[in-house]
Structure 1
Amino acid sequence: MSLDRGKWATGGPETVAPGVHRIPLPLPNDGLRAINVYLLEEPEGLVLIDAGWSIPESLTVLEASLVELGHRLDDLTDVYVTHIHRDHYTQAVELRRRFGTRVHLGAGERPGLELLAALRTDVPVTSLEVLRRGGAPDLASRMAEGYGEFDASGWEPPDRWLDAGTVPLRHPLRVVPTPGHTRGHVVYLDAARGLLFSGDHVLPHITPSIGFELGEPGLPLGDYLDSLRLMTTFPDTRLLPAHGPVAASTHARAEELLDHHDKRLAETEDALGAGARTGYAVAERLTWTRRAIAFDDLNDFNRMLAVNETVAHLDVLAARGRATVSEVEGVARYALTGQVSEQAPKKPATAWNDSLGSHGRSG
């Protein structure tokens, strides 16, 4: 069956190719509404791409969807996860605990998962460090509060760490590292059937948050843009995303996302030209989501995402030589190349960015 744009999150299982089914699973208190997991019918059993957030409602919907398709939960043999975020990974661990399902995860996620186990906290500590570097210490302090006791049950290591290569299924899957949303994000390319299981790397209607994870942030937006360009070097495929409906062309959406970030970099330059000097000050001058929400009207979680993404854009400008950056008491201060660094009063802008539609909670 074919689902329209408004029903992708609640419409039940959708057959997207022979032996391939999209199953939307609910998310708790999340603006994304649902996550798509993909069921592959294999001769030896059932394979999932991503698994969902480990909550009772999600497992109930997954079980009912499998029954509708003529299967059972204990028919699941393997889960191939695109990245470490809670809505993709934690139910894979629960399926293994209950049914012995094998769990596979990109090797690039290993440092983040090990750090999560060592720190034993749900607080997004790396993102808070970016907030402080971005000139938002008060926001960082507020975000550090309100997290409950850490639950380690969903963060066990996978059975297998995946490097770039091929998964030997009936229709082989190519494992393609696509760092950016997280450092170890991978996509799974089914070239024979012209399908790309894109996780959060390429989404049809929103842009993913960048670098929302534990560990050294590096240059996540630069990595993400390189990973988007990589998608256009493969033959075009249907896009099977983790959030949103199936789309006809991976190439078309990748080009749209590259164009979006080019525009966002230009808007960031404009804010520097008007006198903003920190990630927080630049974020205040921009508007957010397709509804052009003012920064002051965002809740604290989305303000954190906004500042983190603004710093990511500023760091790319600096890496490209279009801006300079200096550290003053732990705060990064930016200026256009050749521009005198001085702080101007806040002035709202009218740029838009839809990236806050996609979260990236690792804890």
Structure 2
Amino acid sequence: MSQARRKREVGRGERVLPGVWRLRLPLPWPGVPHCNAWALAAGDGIVLVDTGMHEPGSLGHLERALAQVNLKLDHVRLLVCTHAHSDHYGQAATIVERTGCELWMHPNHDHMLRAARDPEAAFDRRIEVARQSGVPEEPLRRYTEARRGQDYGIAGIVEPHRALVPGVEVHTDLGTWSVYETPGHAPSHVCLYQEDRRILISGDHLLGRVSLYYDYGYSPDPAGEFLHSLDLVQELDARLCLAGHGRTFTDVQAHVDGNRTLVRQRLDKVEEVIARDGGLTAYDAIPLVYGQAITPLNANWWLTETLSYLLHLEATGRVQRLDGTPERWASAA
């Protein structure tokens, strides 16, 4: 789908349940055309969960989605962010400034602060990780020319007024939502669970389709954290999931199982490839693991995913790093 075609998406709002509204907000990313914010009735206003990405016209899309369900930005009494990625936190500063509401978010959001405070340094770090992982200089040069200076999609830094951690409760007309730490996709990730109605607001932990992404470089084992978070969410026995992308779904356990199975399959495949062809860089391993050629659209996504699997395999004693630059990997057996 062309860039022009994707850009024609606009903000949309729809009622999911009495007191629950889905706000579908456009994104500029190939393959990820929109994200969801959620409005929850709360007294004379709403709790807004997530914000959409900041870019030209983005606040208008949020206001349009709200208006379609007879709500306004002025109705926001509390802003809650499931994690500090730009499509979930990006408009937080503007919303807080416009409404005077508080922001609640997990305190482990340094992954966002680094990029927002010094985008050039964050970009240089990404390039260095890619070079250390074996990405050749020519693709790196093209990537740098295409991406350097791009906006990170965050209107401004606003620190949370309250740390969104277990024990904190979010009160709405549907009842109380409990906070569960679910790192893996991001160190700052949490899910909200309404126990009486068995509704899960999953952010990007569970999505409408199984799609894995880890925020690499900010924790020692993001893939292991994600697997642990799946175990935690499974224990909740939710019956309806309001996800950060895609439509709502009721087969929550099937989504947990699908994610866990795919992670295990890819871990096994990475271990198999490293054992068979020792001395590979992460970049070398990608086409062998995923069975497809590396392209500009998948390179960054699959590199961070593969690196996260290598970290987990190293932490569990299944692979080891070899000395030298770029970084190479071998079986620990």
TM-score range, shorter chain: 0.7 to 0.9
Residue 275 (structure 1) aligns with? 277
Deviations along 1:115-134, one digit per CA (max 9) or x if unpaired, are: 33543438445543432332
Answering whether residue 261 of structure 2 is matched by residue 259 of structure 1, we say yes
Query: Are the equivalent residues in 1 in contact too, given 2:115–2:122 (CA < 8 A)?
Result: no
How far 1:82 sits from its partner (Å)?
0.9
Q: What SS does structure 1 have at the residue aligned with 2:179?
A: strand
Pick aligned residue for 1:245 from 238, 244, 247: 247
How far 1:316 sits from its partner (Å)?
1.5
Between 219-228 and 62-71, report the one with greater CA deviation: 62-71
How far 1:143 sits from its partner (Å)?
3.7
Residue 194 (structure 1) aligns with? 198
Distance 1:118 1:10 in 2: 29
Show structure 2 runs of 5+ residues with no match. 1-8
Show structure 1 runs of 5+ residues with no match. 1-8, 339-363
Equivalent residues in 2 for 1:1-363, closer than 5 Å: 12-109=12-109, 111-121=110-120, 123-136=122-135, 138=137, 139-140=139-140, 142-145=142-145, 146-148=147-149, 153-170=155-172, 171-212=175-216, 216-275=218-277, 277-287=280-290, 294-296=292-294, 298-299=295-296, 302-329=298-325, 331-338=326-333
How far 1:108 sits from its partner (Å)?
1.4
Q: What SS does structure 2 have at the residue aligned with 1:272?
A: helix
Distance 2:304 2:47 in 1: 35
Q: What SS does structure 1 have at the residue aligned with 2:211?
A: coil
Query: Are the equivalent residues in 2 in contact too, given 1:46–1:77 (CA < 8 A)?
Result: yes
Distance 1:221 1:260 in 2: 11
Question: Number of residues paired by the alignment?
Answer: 319
Query: Are the equivalent residues in 2 in contact too, given 1:273–1:336 (CA < 8 A)?
Result: yes
Distance 2:207 2:140 in 1: 28
How far 1:141 sits from its partner (Å)?
5.0
Distance 2:128 2:256 in 1: 30
Distance 2:11 2:99 in 1: 26
Counterpart amino acid of residue 244 in structure 2: A
How far 1:189 sits from its partner (Å)?
1.1
Query: Are the equivalent residues in 2 in contact too, given 1:181–1:200 (CA < 8 A)?
Result: yes
How far 1:228 sits from its partner (Å)?
1.3
Q: What TM-score, normalized to structure 2?
A: 0.86
Query: Are the equivalent residues in 1 in contact too, given 2:85–2:112 (CA < 8 A)?
Result: no
> Bigger relative contact order, structure 1 or 2, given CA contacts below 8 A and separation 6+?
1
Query: Are the equivalent residues in 1 in contact too, given 2:320–2:331 (CA < 8 A)?
Result: yes
Query: Are the equivalent residues in 2 in contact too, given 1:180–1:221 (CA < 8 A)?
Result: yes
How far 1:205 sits from its partner (Å)?
0.8
The structure-2 alpha-carbon separation of the partners of 1:73 and 1:21, relative to structure 1 and needing over 3 Å to count, comes to same
Query: Are the equivalent residues in 1 in contact too, given 2:51–2:92 (CA < 8 A)?
Result: yes
Distance 1:57 1:227 in 2: 35
The structure-2 alpha-carbon separation of the partners of 1:207 and 1:194, relative to structure 1 and needing over 3 Å to count, comes to same
Query: Are the equivalent residues in 2 in contact too, given 1:127–1:304 (CA < 8 A)?
Result: no
Q: What TM-score, normalized to structure 1?
A: 0.80
The percent identity for this pair of structures is 29
Residue 353 (structure 1) aligns with? none
Counterpart amino acid of residue 285 in structure 1: L
Q: What SS does structure 1 have at the residue aligned with 2:274?
A: helix
How far 1:248 sits from its partner (Å)?
0.5
Q: Which runs of 4+ in 1 moved over 6 A?
A: 149-152
How far 1:100 sits from its partner (Å)?
2.0
The structure-2 alpha-carbon separation of the partners of 1:308 and 1:112, relative to structure 1 and needing over 3 Å to count, comes to closer
Counterpart amino acid of residue 104 in structure 2: H
Deviations along 1:153-189, one digit per CA (max 9) or x if unpaired, are: 4233233332222324131111111111111111111
Deviations along 1:317-358, one digit per CA (max 9) or x if unpaired, are: 2222222222313x33222233xxxxxxxxxxxxxxxxxxxx
How far 1:38 sits from its partner (Å)?
0.6
Distance 2:164 2:112 in 1: 14
The structure-2 alpha-carbon separation of the partners of 1:141 and 1:163, relative to structure 1 and needing over 3 Å to count, comes to farther
Distance 1:149 1:336 in 2: 38
How far 1:236 sits from its partner (Å)?
2.5
